[in-house]
Structure 1
Amino acid sequence: MARFAKPREPRGETARMRRGFGWLAGLGVLLVVAGLVGLVYTAAVTLTSMLLFGWLLLIGGFVGLLHAIQARGSSFFWLGAIVAALNIAAGVVIVSHPHAAAAALTLFAALLFLTGGLFRVVGSAVVRGPQFGWTLLLGVFYLLLGVLVLANWPSSSQYVIGAFISLALLFDGLGLIATGFGGRRIVGMVSDRTA
């Protein structure tokens, strides 16, 4: 008589999954540390991000130009060449004048906050949906943020972009830590039940 045993989850797979979630939590810790350091040195983060953005535009422009040259004779050539030239020109301007680029980007962000906040406030007052309070609060927050950034512009451009990037790193890191520890806990609960 053949015995039918309940298939069990291999221990190696469970250990590998727990290790993977551990690495995820470790990456989250690194991002949190980077975000906290960035909040202390926001001006350096702003300047570094502008230079990195400019170099990425330059590299992307040259790669796009090579791709357009390879597509000579097709309808893609002129569009690819124009987009590549624009990327290269924008990259040169940002790399050669990172502070002016940061000031322009900060002004653009402030205007986006103002218009987004205005639309949220007006939209929540007109529609009055089930999320009326949250939408109104978010709209007011966006308006205040836009006014604060615009009131101190252009000096605010030294720290606004760096602060936003650092906060994004911090919250992404906290999310990865929560996912890592939560995933390890779930894997442990599942492996305990199947054991």
Structure 2
Amino acid sequence: MKLETEEDIIQLIKEDEWMMGILQTAKFLRLPDWWVCAGFVRSKIWDILHGFTERTPMPDVDVVYFDMSCVDEEVEKQLEQKLKEMNSTIPWSVKNQARMHIINNNQPYSSSVDAISKFPETATALGLTLDKQNNVILTAPCGIQDVINMEVKPTPYFTEDTERAVIYEDRITKKNWKQTWNQLKVYHIK
């Protein structure tokens, strides 16, 4: 399968029953500005580009949303529990991006997509959601070129200061994605 455009990625997701099930389950919560993001999208693309026939296991499935009216972390835990009740085989992680700027020591985010744009790597700054007609919507605020070219690069936000650069470098060392996907090209902040 060729992966050159956002439409190619959307088609890839639509053909994956497991991924569509996760999107349907997340949609059930009816959260404002919700997305299933990060490794959920990136790993699928890299698995396909590496010719893997088995899905690479993920430590979690990230569901983000944006709701300034309630930034209580306990609500996120309750939402995770609801998702676990609907599908206990998925390691759900739910985070309200209206509060995550505090955890990440950033300026407040304006939306979930704004928060996704500030993820450490461009290849991870991806999200999927379903519209009212269950069409798959992809957000890629840093573009898709790096993920489809199998390049791990920092998002512009992480090249802006030394402290974030250190976080990026520590993260790519810890994640060690090249061990799983050996064709990756990993770029360091100089």
What is the TM-score with the length of structure 2 in the denominator? 0.27
Structure number with the higher strand fraction is 2
Structure with higher RCO (Cα < 8 A, 6+ apart):
1
Q: Max radius of gyration: which structure?
A: 1
TM-score (norm 1): 0.27
